[in-house]
Every structure is written in structure tokens, then in C-alpha cells.
Amino acid sequence: MTTLENAAAVLKLFQRKGITQGHVGLTFTEVVEALTLPKSTVSRLLATMENQGLLERDAESRCFHIGRVLLAAVGHYLSAPLVDSVSPAMVRLAANTGCMGYVSKLDGREVLVMRMFHGRHFTQLVTPPGSRMPATATSTGRALLALLSDEDVKARYQDVWQTVSPNSPQNVEALCGELAAIRQQGWSLARNETLGGISSLSVVVHNKHHGESVALCLSFLSQDAEPGYPPAILEALRATATEMAEKYGT
């Protein structure tokens, strides 16, 4: 193994051992046993990683912890708004599927479109960034509302219910029924609701470090045949959400 591969193995050991902030840290012996290398080789490796700020060593226990350079890089990475962080993945997703892609946030009883990504299939029906739509009548809105409890949803729509489309939930009880299904399956579908002839699929990505959630959406021409969406599009969307979840600890 190369020096870089050995250094990566040391860093992965923190995850394997479940070592978090406040933990005693990794001992020299643990690293030697994990890498199955001579002690002299491991000693030089750890010293180099410490000198470069990848590791820090406690003066009393002599155990190793993640270093300041890695912590600074991770902090910068996780501090970026989730909308910006998921955008590169959505660019690829829109290009690969040919669908229009969107990133949206929940704002009260509306969804706010934050980003839009053109697919290769031409359509004149687009929803530009800054657009607001009733959350109950969109796949993005319902995906985000599904993060709330039924009690919170009912309180949000108490005395202010608005039926947007015959294809949308007609009352808060019907909405809660759809949200229950979304929680179970992990995705949301809207067919011919805010835009006739257009359907969409949405999933949610959550950054647990900042308590921030966004909906990732792909829209496409509606299909009459069940299930009402191309399965390959749902598969690609969910794969992207899984990739984002692995990065941000959803």
C-alpha cells in the first residue's frame, strides 16, 4: 500500500471504531493492529500525519485524534448551504435523465424554488427560481411536509385550506393520508396538479449538522399509464438522494 492509502486507512479507522469528539482516541497499538505494518513504519506514518495537521496527539494519553486541517476542511464543506451543495449532483441528474430538475425549500404553506436545472428534453413549461407554489399541490411540497407530524400539518392549515387542483388533496385529512404514504416509501409524486400535462417526483435531503432540508425534484411529461412515472427516473433520483445523505449525514 502507498503512504496515501495507509493514511486513508488510519482515517477510516476512526469511523470503524466509532470514535467521536470526546472519545479517548486511537492508540498506537490499535493503528498497528489495523494496518498490520511494522511498528517503525506506522510510527513514521503517524508522525507525518501529525506534522501535516491530519492528526493530533493528546499530550497526556498519547492517543490520536482528527487534526485541525481535516476539521477545518470538513467545517467549511458542511457550512455551505445545502441548496448549493446538492446543485452539482442535480446538474448531472438533469443531464442524465433529460428531465427538468429543481431544488426547493418549504416556506410556511408554500414551496420556494431555489434552483432550476435544464434537461435535454425541451419543454416550455418551467418553474424558474423564486417561484412559489402551494406546498399541498406539489411533489416537493408534500415531500417536505412529510417531515412534519400530522399535528403540525393540521395546525399549519387550520382555517386556511386551499384546493389547488382536482388532482391535489382536497382537504387536510386527504393530505395527511398522502404524507403517510410518502413517509413510508420515501418519495413523492404529483401528476397534473400545478401544471397540466406535467408530473414530478421528489425526495428530501437533510443536513443534520444544520437542520436544513431541501427537496430534489425531477419533472417530466405526464404519463397516462400506471405507475405514472418512468421507474428509471425514480431510481436515479433516489440514488442521488442516497449519495447526498452519505455526505451530509441524513
Least confident segment among 38-52, 113-127, 170-184, 211-225: 113-127
Q: Do 29 and 123 belong together in one domain?
A: no
Q: Do 92 and 164 belong together in one domain?
A: yes
pLDDT at 249 over 70: no
pLDDT tens figures, 55-80: 999 888 899 988 888 877 766 555 55
Bigger pLDDT: 147 vs 36: 147
Bigger pLDDT: 44 vs 209: 44
**Single residue among 32, 57, 77 that ends a domain in this structure:** 77
Q: What is the enclosing helix (H) or strand (E) of 205? A: strand 198-207
Residue with cell string 506514518: 45
pLDDT at 46 over 60: yes
Domain span at residue 33 reads 3-77
Do 125 and 198 contact (CB within 8 A), yes or no? yes
pLDDT at 83 over 60: yes
The percentage of the chain sitting over the pLDDT mark of 90, rounded to a whole number, equals 54
Q: Do 70 and 89 belong together in one domain?
A: no
Least confident segment among 17-21, 44-48, 170-174, 199-203: 17-21
- Counting the structural domains of the chain, the total is 2
H-type helices in the chain, by residue range?
3-16, 28-35, 39-51, 68-79, 82-97, 139-145, 150-156, 172-185, 231-248
Q: Do 101 and 149 belong together in one domain?
A: yes
Res. 91 pLDDT band, cuts 50 70 90: very high
Q: Do 88 and 69 belong together in one domain?
A: no
Domain with residue 174: its CATH number is 3.30.450.40
Res. 202 pLDDT band, cuts 50 70 90: very high
pLDDT of residue 199: 94
Residue 15: other Cβ atoms inside 10 A:
9
Mean pLDDT, the chain, rounded, equals: 88
Pairwise CA distance, residues 139 & 182, whole Å: 10
The percentage of the chain sitting over the pLDDT mark of 70, rounded to a whole number, equals 92
